[in-house]
Amino acid sequence: MGMRRREFAAAYLFLAPFLVTLGIFFLFATARAVYFSFTNYDLFNAPTWVGLRNYAELFRDDLFLTALRNSLVFAAVVTTVQTFGALVMAAVLNQRIRGLDFFRAAFYMPSITSSVVITLIFLWMYQRRGLFNYLGTQFLAYLPLLGVFLLAVALLQAAQVLYERSRRLPARWGDPALLVVSLLVAAGITWALVFYGVIAPREVRPVDFVWLQTRREVPGAFPGFLRAPVPLLAIMLQNVFTTIPTFMLMFLAALQDVPAAHYEAASLDGATPVQQFFYITIPAVQPVTFLVVTLGLIGTLQMFDQVAIFGNAVPLKSVITLAYFVYNRMFPGAQLPEVGFASAAAMFLAALTLVIVLLQRLFIRSEGRR
């Protein structure tokens, strides 16, 4: 008995540093915030109990409803795109190709770069005379050349495949060997047409798409609560860019455990790489998918830093998320902090996160089918 008790004591002794910090900075802080959310506390005057008034007011506040819509759209889009993107990238990097280590390191770079620095760089690229609009302009200018090139590739490929089949040889539409020939010949044809002046890059007006300083929402045909403001879209793009590599690493670890024999057997049975991806890779990494989606949802629902750094470059209403709303009400203009109201918003965010994560458990099981 004494032995057991001593073991318990030792265990708690080792846990103590963690339990103390958890108790002070998490349990105590949360309990206080819960209490404040039912009061009109402003940091300077003693709090008075107001019951559920703060919560009721949340839903009468336009800015809060906008923040809620933005957060939900952001979480849904970013979690979906980043999970799928990370899985595809992991599958690619799981191949035995030349220079694999380089690609693994290069693809991971965005995740270890400071989010502040990346946000500042993206802010420049989103300017009206920035990189994205420049690339858009170039694309439009060279569109005729691109069109001719793609048309030539398609025609050449079709001609070759039909010729092979007429000789009763097996040839798929995307046959790589034939495709190489098609690409080279098509490039030659395009170059010749440009050289003889048959086609030329177009004179186009520079793309003047406003990424940041706009209140436009897309897609315009959707009802309001399903639309995403353009500046929020810009943040989504940047967020996906930085989070994909981290999740890619998790998928990569899971993929290393998938026996190569499965893929060999599948390819012997004639499964294409795409079929292998959907029927072997995705089921095999199901537990990791659960983890990635859970972490992704929690991370995206709490997104704060990128909104804060975009700051005055974008209209607040277009990018405000729930986490930023809490901060915004904590330090409003030139008046006392609305601690009670902000705490209520924070509690709502916590509850919302919990519910969404529980809901997604219904759709993605944490254990793979065995």
What Å distances lie between residue 55 and 24, 219, 333, CA to CA?
26, 31, 22
Q: How far apart are CA 41 and CA 116, in angstroms?
A: 32
Q: What's at 34, amino acid-wise?
A: V
Residue 211: CB minimum distance to another protein, A: 11
Q: Which is nearer to another protein, 229 or 245 (CB)?
A: 229
Residue 126: CB minimum distance to another protein, A: 10
Residue 237: CB minimum distance to another protein, A: 19
Residue 210: CB minimum distance to another protein, A: 5
Q: What's at 121, amino acid-wise?
A: I
Residue 214: CB minimum distance to another protein, A: 6
Residue 219: CB minimum distance to another protein, A: 17
Q: How far apart are CA 333 and CA 354, in angstroms?
A: 31
Q: How far apart are CA 188 and CA 190, in angstroms?
A: 6
Residues in the chain: 370
Residue 225: CB minimum distance to another protein, A: 19
Token reading at 88 = 């595809």
Q: Which is nearer to another protein, 57 or 175 (CB)?
A: 57
Q: Which is nearer to another protein, 95 or 335 (CB)?
A: 335
Question: What are the residues binding another protein (CB under 8 A)?
Answer: 43-44, 61-62, 127-129, 208, 210, 213-216, 312, 315-317, 330-337
CA 280 from centroid of its chain's CA atoms: 24
Q: How far apart are CA 270 and CA 46, in angstroms?
A: 73
Find, among 291, 302, 303, the residue nearest to 236 by Cα: 303
Assess contact for 232 and 173: CB atoms under 8 A: no
Query: Which contiguous run of DSSP H or E holds residue 229?
Result: strand 228-229
In this structure, the number of other CB atoms found within 10 A of the CB of residue 50 comes to 18
Residue 56: CB minimum distance to another protein, A: 13
Q: Which is nearer to another protein, 13 or 334 (CB)?
A: 334
Q: How far apart are CA 116 and CA 191, in angstroms?
A: 43
Q: Which is nearer to another protein, 227 or 317 (CB)?
A: 317
Residue 286: CB minimum distance to another protein, A: 43
Token reading at 151 = 């048309």
Q: Which is nearer to another protein, 20 or 65 (CB)?
A: 65
What Å distances lie between residue 130 and 121, 136, 206, CA to CA?
10, 10, 11
Query: Which contiguous run of DSSP H or E holds residue 8?
Result: helix 2-22
Assess contact for 365 and 58: CB atoms under 8 A: no
